[in-house]
Structure 1
Amino acid sequence: MYSIEQINYIKAPAATIYKALTTAEGLGQVWTRKLEVKPELGFVNVFDFDEGYLTKMEVTDLQADTLVSWKCVASDQEWVGTGISFELTEEEKATKVRLNHHDWRELTDYYRWCSYNWAMFLFRLKKYTESLN
């Protein structure tokens, strides 16, 4: 199995970033505006990227201000069964956000393209949450 791992350092409190990753307001600013999300274990978040199918992520772990984890239950076939986690660690001057998109079955061009897009996701998360301070 393979993983995409990315890190970004964001000059915002972990609580602000956690809220952005668990609410429609926050995810609507950094991922897609067409969504239905709840910060509730077992809830299946739904994201629509206008690609002809919905991406559905079951919320598998929530630890206030430190961890958000999802399992993909519907999407592009390469995503189904993969997991995504966001670990938040407050450091001296920033919050470290460690993204891990794990359990990829193989290294494909789509995997590589998603790696790039996760980096862009973290960049948008940084811009959005830093603008709230």
Structure 2
Amino acid sequence: MANIRHNLMINASIKEVYDAITLEDGLKGWWTNDAKAKLEIGSINHFKFGNEYFNKMKILKLGEPNLILWECVDGDREWIGTKLSFELKDKEERTFLKFSHLNWNDESDFFGFCCHHWGRYLDSLKSLCETGKGQPFMV
């Protein structure tokens, strides 16, 4: 199994970061502007990236304000069954984010591509939380 991991410090409160990851408007501000999300364990959130690419994430855990856990249940075949974890720690009015995209079958070319793009989107999350403006995928 292969895993993608990124750590970053965000100059924003843990609540601001948690809300950006869990609420539909927040997700639209840093990941993709075509997001349909519901803040409820067991719900399936849908994220579109243009006409040909999408993924559906089942919310497994909402441990406010410290942990969000999703499982990909539909989308790219290499993503199905993988889990995404967002661990948040309060660091004196800043937030330390440990992101993991876990349980890939192997380190394929697509895995490398996604590793790069996760870094980019996490920078977008940081920007959204710090400045109010992220750089999500725009449909």
For Structure 1 versus Structure 2, the TM-score category normalised by the shorter chain is: over 0.9
User: Could you give the per-residue CA deviations for residues 3-46 of structure 1, whole angstroms, max 9, x where no partner exists?
Assistant: 10001100100100000001111100101111110110000000
Paired residue secondary structure (1:106): coil
State the match for 1:29 in structure 2.
29
State the match for 2:50 in structure 1.
50
Pairs within 5 Å for 1:8-19: 8-19=8-19
Q: Which amino acid aligns with 2:81?
A: G
Stretches of structure 1 that go unaligned for 5 or more consecutive residues are: none
TM-score norm. by structure 2 comes to 0.91
Quick one: distance in 2 between partners of 1:109 and 1:54? 18
Report if aligned partners of 2:14, 2:65 keep a CA contact under 8 Å in 1: yes
Q: Percent identity?
A: 34
State the aligned residue count. Answer: 132
Cα distance, 1:121 vs structure 2: 1.1
Pairs within 5 Å for 1:86-125: 86-92=86-92, 94-125=94-125
Report if aligned partners of 2:13, 2:93 keep a CA contact under 8 Å in 1: no
Quick one: distance in 2 between partners of 1:121 and 1:33? 12
Paired residue secondary structure (2:73): strand
Q: Which amino acid aligns with 2:130?
A: E
State the match for 2:136 in structure 1.
none
Quick one: distance in 1 between partners of 2:52 and 2:24? 21
Cα distance, 1:2 vs structure 2: 1.0
State the match for 2:64 in structure 1.
64
2:5 equivalent to 1:5: yes
Quick one: distance in 2 between partners of 1:118 and 1:10? 15
Deviates more, 1:59-68 or 1:45-54: 45-54
Q: Which amino acid aligns with 2:63?
A: Q
Closer, same or farther in 2 for the Cα pair 1:11/1:49, shift >3 Å?
same
